[in-house]
């Protein structure tokens, strides 16, 4: 049996684990980090964690897989941009440092690309050689599997589905464009939409409103919540429909924190999807919820490394 270390970099900690070649986490840990400290300070406990596992020498650790927010250059592993919550990572190569200090080969990728690799190797995506996936959370990430491989594009930045423009006159987005998919279906976008609708009906929304509150209200058949989710589902269908037309995928997968409430969204998206796809390209297409859920970070980071080892 082979093993890969998966590491998911977040704003307050690195979630780390050893993942076997069937996608099971056999050891897991949380390494606290101070997101505002220097690159070396962040990496010191991370490197030590890896060294301790490799030194034991009981398991054959084949590689280290890293997941981070933002854009990581696929050739050099340098984080170019987009990880604002851990600013000192920018301009550095996490896999480069790990390889130098531990001697273990390492690969880094965007966290949504990792999530897609996780589903492809160890989750619901195993059933499909071609799929498109979105991760719904604070933002919207994406991943594309083509013929059983994750498509990374020229530099490794492919899959920014959240920044596909759905309406050039829509709300401004932090990427500089307007009307990006993320502005209609991310967690904050859902909450904004729901709040606006409540206000229009003379109801003062709570300042602490979360996507969970919206889904809970919709489950209680709250009309405003259901209308909001219908608009969100319409936008998800618009995005998936466009992608199906381009990629002729066999499945559309919804992942990320919000997909825990995915059953409700799935129904709405299915209802709208035919409006956006050439009918032949929708035949036998499945709409799925990601399987890995809470473990998507560690398993996904490991999966993208397994996937890239295959092609080395």
What are the Cα distances from residue 98, in Å, to 4, 60, 62, 183, 300?
13, 17, 13, 36, 18
Q: Min. distance of Cβ 180 from Zn ion in angstroms?
A: 3
Using CB under 5 A as the binding rule, whether residue 163 contacts Zn ion is answered as yes
Instruction: Provide the residue count of the chain.
Output: 312
Task: Report yes or no: 173 and 154 within 8 Å, Cβ to Cβ.
Answer: no
Using CB under 5 A as the binding rule, whether residue 166 contacts Zn ion is answered as no
Using CB under 5 A as the binding rule, whether residue 180 contacts Zn ion is answered as yes
Using CB under 5 A as the binding rule, whether residue 239 contacts Zn ion is answered as no
State the CB neighbour count (10 A cutoff) for residue 34. 11
Stretch that binds Zn ion, among 43-51, 78-86, 170-178, 194-202 (CB under 5 A): 170-178
What are the Cα distances from residue 250, in Å, to 26, 133, 233, 246, 286?
31, 11, 19, 12, 7
Stretch that binds Zn ion, among 70-78, 97-105, 180-188, 190-198 (CB under 5 A): 180-188
Stretch that binds Zn ion, among 92-100, 140-148, 160-168, 239-247 (CB under 5 A): 160-168
Q: Residues with Cβ < 8 Å from 230, sequence gap 6 or more? A: 268
Stretch that binds Zn ion, among 143-151, 179-187, 230-238, 274-282 (CB under 5 A): 179-187
User: In terms of CB distance, is 82 or 211 closer to Zn ion?
Assistant: 82
User: In terms of CB distance, is 189 or 252 closer to Zn ion?
Assistant: 189
Using CB under 5 A as the binding rule, whether residue 308 contacts Zn ion is answered as no
Q: Min. distance of Cβ 183 from Zn ion in angstroms?
A: 7
Kind and range of the H or E run holding 199: helix 187-200
For the chain, give the longest Cα–Cα distance.
65
Residue with tokens 């890969």: 4
Q: Min. distance of Cβ 37 from Zn ion in angstroms?
A: 29
Stretch that binds Zn ion, among 63-71, 73-81, 161-169, 196-204 (CB under 5 A): 161-169
Using CB under 5 A as the binding rule, whether residue 175 contacts Zn ion is answered as yes
User: In terms of CB distance, is 7 or 189 closer to Zn ion?
Assistant: 189
Candidates 220, 296, 297; CA nearest to 264 is 220
State the CB neighbour count (10 A cutoff) for residue 207. 6
Give me the residues that bind Zn ion (CB under 5 A), please.
Answer: 163, 173, 175, 177, 180
């Amino acid at each position: 049996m082979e093993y890969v270390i998966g590491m998911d970099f977040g704003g307050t900690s690195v979630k780390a684990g050893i993942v076997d070649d069937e996608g099971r986490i056999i050891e897991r840990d949380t390494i606290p980090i101070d997101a505002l400290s220097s690159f070396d300070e962040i990496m010191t406990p991370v490197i030590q964690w890896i060294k301790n596992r490799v030194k034991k020498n009981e398991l054959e650790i084949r590689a280290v897989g890293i997941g981070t927010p933002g854009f990581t250059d696929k050739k050099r592993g340098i984080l170019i941009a987009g990880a604002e919550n851990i600013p000192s990572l920018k301009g550095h190569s996490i896999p480069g440092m790990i390889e130098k200090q531990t001697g273990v080969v390492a690969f880094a990728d965007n966290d949504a690309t990792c999530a897609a690799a996780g589903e492809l190797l160890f989750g619901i995506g195993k059933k499909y050689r071609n799929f498109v996936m979105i991760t719904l959370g604070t933002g919207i990430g994406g991943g594309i599997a083509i013929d059983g491989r994750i498509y990374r594009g020229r530099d490794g930045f492919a899959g920014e589905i959240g920044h596909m423009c759905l309406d050039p006159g829509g709300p401004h987005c932090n990427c500089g464009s307007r009307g990006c998919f993320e502005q209609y279906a991310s967690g904050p976008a859902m909450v904004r939409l729901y709040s606006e609708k409540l206000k229009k009906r003379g109801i003062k929304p709570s300042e602490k409103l979360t996507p969970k509150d919206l889904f809970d209200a919709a489950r209680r058949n709250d009309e405003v919540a259901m209308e909001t989710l219908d608009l969100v589902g319409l936008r998800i269908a618009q995005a998936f429909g466009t992608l199906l037309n381009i990629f002729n995928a066999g499945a559309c997968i919804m992942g990320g924190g919000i997909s825990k409430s995915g059953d409700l969204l799935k129904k709405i998206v299915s209802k709208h999807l035919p409006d956006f796809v050439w009918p032949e390209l929708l035949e036998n297409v499945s709409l799925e919820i990601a399987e890995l859920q809470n473990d998507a970070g560690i398993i996904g980071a490991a999966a993208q490394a397994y996937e890239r080892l295959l092609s080395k």
